[in-house]
């Protein structure tokens, strides 16, 4: 009886488990003409429903990482004062692993 309850509890918990931490979009934001990194840009991931899922700032190398939490199709938006805002995608994130992208913006 206790073994059956334990199995039911484990199965139930596995159904509500947290998403795999590897479900992410990672990339770099660069200037169009020079290829130089864009520091301090806001990068947001937008889900298929049009809602913002998560966001991040680029570092001094233009690098960013967005933990999207689940597989799906995402649009990326890059915004930075002095640059034209861009939308990139759609980008597909699989059930595991990290999707790599490069965002190129012009001044």
Taking 60 as the threshold, does the pLDDT of residue 101 lie above it? yes
CA distances to 18, 37, 61, 70 from 34, in Å: 41, 9, 14, 34
pLDDT score of 22: 58
pTM value is 0.76
Percent of the chain exceeding pLDDT 70 equals 79
pLDDT score of 10: 42
* 10-59: pLDDT as tens digits: 434 334 444 445 589 999 999 999 999 999 999 999 999 999 999 999 99
């Amino acid at each position: 009886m206790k073994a059956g309850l334990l199995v039911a509890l484990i199965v139930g918990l596995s159904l509500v488990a947290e998403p795999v931490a590897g479900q992410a979009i990672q990339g770099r934001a660069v200037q169009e003409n020079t290829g130089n990194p864009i520091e301090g840009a806001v990068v947001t991931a937008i889900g298929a429903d049009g809602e913002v899922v998560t966001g991040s700032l680029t570092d001094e190398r233009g690098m960013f990482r967005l933990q999207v939490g689940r597989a799906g199709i995402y649009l990326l938006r890059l915004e930075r004062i002095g640059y034209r805002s861009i939308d990139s995608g759609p980008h597909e994130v699989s059930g595991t692993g990290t999707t790599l992208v490069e965002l190129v913006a012009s001044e």
